Amino acid sequence: MSIPESGLNPANLAREVLEHYLREGRLPEIPPSLPPEYSARAGVFVSLKKDGQLRGCIGTVEPVRDNLAEEIAANAVGAAVRDPRFQPVSRAELEELSISVDILGPIEPVKSEEELDPRLYGVLVRSGSRSGLLLPLLDGVNTVKEQVGIARRKAGIPPGVPAKLYRFKVTRYNEQ
């Protein structure tokens, strides 16, 4: 199987990649000629949910692959089999999962938490070599304090330790 060359929603693409990977044990071939929307480069997060609960999420803050299709494919597989918080997804379980793909916009520094909004922006917190990221529009994350606090905990940055803040917008795709 190769990734279809036109008209595919990124979340549906992630599902097709996972179906192929769980059946064949390898990523599908990326076609040499991609539609324009998949030839761009961007950071991508793929999230898997089961019964409304997170089942896996892996992503890249900035692009590390040649194009969006490859970024989605690699992160879809990563979310299913490499998220250290969860056991790998089985083939039988795949049909029970809902998949979303977040394509990240440019990451920009902010001077203070006043420039953040968890409904509009994701947040990246950095201190030294540690960094933590939280996507926007997450259930149960309603305030900037909650969003930044979770990102700091993910990074292992204690409260009170100076950290730089960054924000970004995402385009979220759910399966159709």
Q: Tens digit of pLDDT for each residue in 52-97?
A: 999 999 999 999 999 999 999 999 999 999 999 999 999 999 999 9
- Residue 1 maps to a domain: no
Residue 3 is predicted with a pLDDT of 53
Percentage of the residues of the chain whose pLDDT score is greater than 90: 86
End of a domain among 67, 85, 104? 104
Tell me how crowded residue 54 is: count the other CB atoms within 10 A of its CB. 15
Residue 30 belongs to what domain range?
10-104
Strand partners of residue 167: 108, 123
Alpha helices in 29-124 (DSSP H): 36-39, 68-81, 91-94
Residues 71 and 114 in one domain: no
Rounded to the nearest integer, the mean pLDDT of the chain is: 93
pTM: 0.90
DSSP 15: H
Structural domain includes residue 120? yes
Distance separating alpha carbons of residues 137 and 91, to the nearest angstrom: 29
